[in-house]
């Protein structure tokens, strides 16, 4: 999960990008995060389920799924703008990728040895805010998809 920040950049730099590679990257990211969430507690199974649902929606939309948020609520548009390269987008991505690792660290043996109380609460709050922001966008995507499905079924 930590290397997720670098694999896309390396693929672009060496001109090794493909639609298959992008899809595989998302699948492996969701699998890794989901594994960590369930390792923390089986009760967190709903987090990877939400991510899989969103993946199934956006993977059918093609490579331009990130570009379709011009009519979205302001917060969703700000997060999705410039391919997540905004302050809100980065907060969401950090929360998405790092919150489960941070919680797993808090449950680990190492936490008892190396504990920075002054950093723990602000970091946890930052990552939780990012994950909640990401969930807001995910629920918006699912809501739009549901509205589209209802509209096409009538």
pLDDT in tens, 108-143: 876 666 666 678 889 999 999 999 999 999 999 999
> Is pLDDT above 60 for 2?
no
- CA dihedral (69, 131, 59, 46) positive or negative: negative
pLDDT digits (tens, 9 = 90+) for 33-76: 999 999 999 999 999 999 999 998 888 776 667 767 878 999 99
Helices assigned H by DSSP within the chain: 4-13, 19-40, 46-61, 74-80, 87-106, 109-113, 117-153
The pLDDT value recorded for residue 82 is 87
CA 109 from centre of chain = 27
Give yes or no for a contact between 107 and 40, defined as CB atoms under 8 angstroms apart.
Answer: yes
Lowest mean pLDDT among 14-28, 96-110, 130-144: 14-28
Answer whether 0.85 is exceeded by the pTM.
no
In which residue are the tokens 């987090």 written? 47
**Per-residue pLDDT at 87 exceeds 90:** yes
């Amino acid at each position: 999960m930590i290397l997720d920040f670098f694999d896309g950049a390396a693929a672009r730099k060496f001109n090794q990008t493909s639609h298959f590679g992008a899809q595989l990257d998302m699948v492996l990211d969701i699998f890794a995060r989901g594994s960590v969430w369930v390792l923390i507690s089986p009760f967190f199974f709903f987090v990877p389920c939400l991510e899989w649902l969103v993946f199934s929606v956006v993977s059918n939309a093609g490579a331009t799924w990130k570009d379709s948020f011009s009519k979205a609520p302001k917060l969703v548009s700000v997060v999705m703008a410039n391919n997540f390269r905004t302050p809100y987008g980065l907060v969401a991505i950090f929360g998405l990728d790092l919150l489960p690792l941070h919680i797993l660290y808090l449950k680990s043996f190492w936490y008892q040895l190396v504990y920075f109380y002054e950093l723990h609460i602000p970091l946890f709050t930052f990552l939780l805010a990012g994950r909640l922001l990401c969930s807001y966008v995910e629920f918006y995507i699912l809501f739009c998809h549901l509205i589209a499905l209802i509209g096409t079924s009538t």
